[in-house]
Structure 1
């Protein structure tokens, strides 16, 4: 298997923006590790084998795509077991629990993803898009091999463009229930969507041809919360109080 290459990301802070609620919050992050590249077709096929029927054997260095959040979670555990690490997740039907004390592979939190993507930059992009990201301006019709554009200052490739990337966090549980966040923009998106702060999401079994993921690692001694995420905050965000925003009905 092509080795899973991780970059060490130092601790720091990142400010996240939620356009619907028009809110901002600053998250303090402990050091963690994150994939230099998105998980590739070769890595998915090697780890999951027949459980990954969509493998593109002709393009092993392309990002693995058209896979759900649930499939990404299962890959994380399988990769951990492959390397003798404690799996980060457990399952109860469709419910997934993150054991934050585990040192196994996992999805990055949304705060980790944005902090790693920005690499100290404060604008929408960490460089000129034509140099750092595959977008609609390149005229390509499929994901491209990882590492084909310039990396950011953390040495990470394709955090913007090429394929969107799943994160651990819920998108907006009051409105979208169990939808999970994905970030970064894809090869068919214009520059407005390929920005460090853009948030989108989908159901945990949804899949798209421009949606993949990258791995993270890092263990913490704070049960049910870590790196900008907490189970309590998810419950609070699910509880809508006061007037319902015009044009939508909350999940019940």
Structure 2
């Protein structure tokens, strides 16, 4: 886990042309996406279309990611961040919990940019697997250069699920995806790009990485 310092990030949405600014508290973020080996160790499952211990886990829904976070928290003796309903679906996020969770999209973009101001934190071919260099397949984590915080694969390889609802008034329960994937064109692999999908959606270029709140950042509320 890498410590991401507090800061401010400006988000935008091309569809609505909306712009907004978010203050981000310090938090911790995994340096790599969750790998297939790690996912299997915690859950006993290997859902990915292409197998490989060091490949990012893919073919996982937003709900799968949330359940992984809770299972990992219990495994390490931490308080799970998510409260699940009777049907196993997420009922809320306890921000006072010290367990693992998904990053918010503001946290994700702040961490991805790592102080940079352009669309990417480096030349795309050096930092990301995308349609132009992936040979039509997913790649092992950590194969490209990290950003200034030491975070790998923030762009390309697999999209990352984030906690946030995309636009509940229009899309209901759809959640935010960030980062672009191995099959995407260069314009999708930018720090500001937002994608959305239903929380049950599973496909071979969508995975996730885990975060934890800093001890002094827990607010003690249910979001």
TM superposition score category, shorter chain reference: over 0.9
**If you compute each CA radius of gyration, which structure gives the higher value, 1 or 2?**
1
How far, CA to CA, are the matches of 1:58 and 1:159 in structure 2?
A: 21
Map Cα deviations across residues 182-219 of structure 1 (whole Å, 9 max, x no partner): 00000111111110000001111101100000000005
Counterpart contact for 2:160–2:206, Cα < 8 Å: yes
2:52 counterpart of 1:59: yes
Q: CA 1:177–1:147 in 2, change beyond 3 Å: closer, same or farther? A: same
Give yes or no for the alignment of 1:181 onto 2:176: yes
Aligned equivalent of 2:221: 223
| Contact 2:82-2:93 at 8 Å conserved across structures | yes
Tell me what 2:6 maps to.
Answer: 11
TM-score of the superposition, structure 2-length normalised?
Answer: 0.94
Query: Which of 1 and 2 has higher RCO (CA within 8 Å, sep 6+)?
Result: 2
| 1:124-135 correspondence runs (5 A) | 124-135=119-130
Q: Deviations over 1:119-178 (max 9, x none)?
A: 011111100001000011114222100000000000000000000000000011111100
Contact 1:178/1:204 (8 A) holds in 2: yes
TM-score where L is the length of structure 1: 0.83
How many equivalent residue pairs? 218
Q: Confirm or deny: 8 A CA contact 1:66 1:212 kept in the other structure.
A: yes
State how far apart, in whole Å, the 1-side matches of 2:50 and 2:155 are.
24
Q: Does 2:140 correspond to 1:145?
A: yes
Change (3 A) 1:139 1:64: closer
- CA-based RMSD: 1.4
Please list every run of 5 or more consecutive structure 1 residues that lacks an aligned counterpart in the other structure: 1-5, 225-230, 232-252
